[in-house]
Copies of this chain bind each other. A is one copy, B any other.
Amino acid sequence: MAGSADEPVSSSGSTPAVVLVEPQLAENIGMVARAMLNCGLDDLRLVRPRADWPNEKAVAAASGADRVLEQARLYPSTAAATADLNLLFATTARSRAMTKWTLTPRAAASEIRRATAAGIGVGLLFGKEARGLGNDDVALSQAIIAIPLNPTFSSLNLAMAVLIVGYEWRMAANAVEAAAVATATVPGAVLQLPKETAPATAEQLQGLFEQLESELDRCGFLRIAEKRPIMVRNLRNLFGRAGLSAQEVRTLRGIISCLVAGPRRPRGGGGGA
């Protein structure tokens, strides 16, 4: 018994994690757990749920999927909940004023399968019932999953959205292909990294963002307070969309450090503007 209680059923990377950001109703969390287990998913992560946790109403709504609820982990932020993951999908019905790869659940499912087969940790982000994901969470994600429903009545129950994405993930089981070898930055190829290259974790990306923004604050690029949030978001979106490898993140951080140090701190020869 000892030592196994805290271990998740599936190790990170084998199945996608479902990340609920600020879910409002415990019943919905329970229904999500049920829908997840229907699809064979069990890695549930909760970011600041409004209801007390653990919660009896969630257990009742889970209709037997207690295991998923018992293993669910709580986090103070989306960044913390996704720190060990490499590839985040933001599920949304509303269109966003962001340049973002947008996939149907079906197209996303085969990408997710390819990713997890290659050891890439995948997170599926779902926002609160009333309003969906905030733009900051969307910006953290590498791509959007848009569920193509009735445009005149697209208000989808939270657990229903989880079910559709999970169902497509399950249906894609036979469509897994061997991990691809080429890198590419076109839609549909988001997960194709050279075999020897580890994709960045969300935590590594976060480190890059924080370094970048702190430097941009310092140099005055972000000095207009009203505009700062949207500028930060757009930058994160831009880099998040790129599907960076861990090595590329290190390279970018080195570039930022170097640019900051810049001409003020001569380091001998070498090029540079």
Contacts and interface: CB of A to CB of B under 8 A. Distances in A.
A148 B160 contact: no
Nearest to A154: B38
Contact of A65 (B37, B65, B148, B153): B153
A149 interface: yes
A157 interface: yes
Contacts of A31: 157
Contacts of A154: 38
Q: Which of A148, A149, A164 has the most CB of B within 10 A?
A: A149
B106 A150 contact: no
Interface string A16-43: 0000000000000001001101111000
A39 B150 contact: yes
A170 interface: yes
11 contacts: A31-B157, A34-B155, A34-B157, A35-B157, A37-B150, A38-B156, A63-B157, A148-B170, A159-B160, A163-B164, A164-B167
A37 B157 CA distance: 12
Contact of A106 (B40, B156, B160, B171): B171
A38 B149 contact: yes
A159 B160 CA distance: 9
Interface residues of A, number: 26
Given A149-B170, A157-B159, 5 more contacts: A34-B155, A38-B153, A38-B155, A38-B160, A39-B149
B153 A37 contact: yes
Interface string A32-57: 00110111100000000000000000
Q: Which of A64, A148, A154, A160 has the most CB of B within 10 A?
A: A160
B155 A64 contact: yes
A175 to B, nearest CB: 12
Contact of A63 (B34, B150, B155): B155
Interface string A124-163: 0000000000000000000000001110011111011001
A155 B63 CA distance: 8
Nearest to A150: B40
Contacts of A35: 157, 160
A247 to B, nearest CB: 37
A64 B157 contact: no
Interface in A100-122: 106
A-B pairs with lowest CB-CB distance, top 9: A37-B153, A40-B150, A38-B149, A160-B163, A38-B150, A38-B156, A164-B167, A63-B155, A64-B155
A153 B160 CA distance: 17
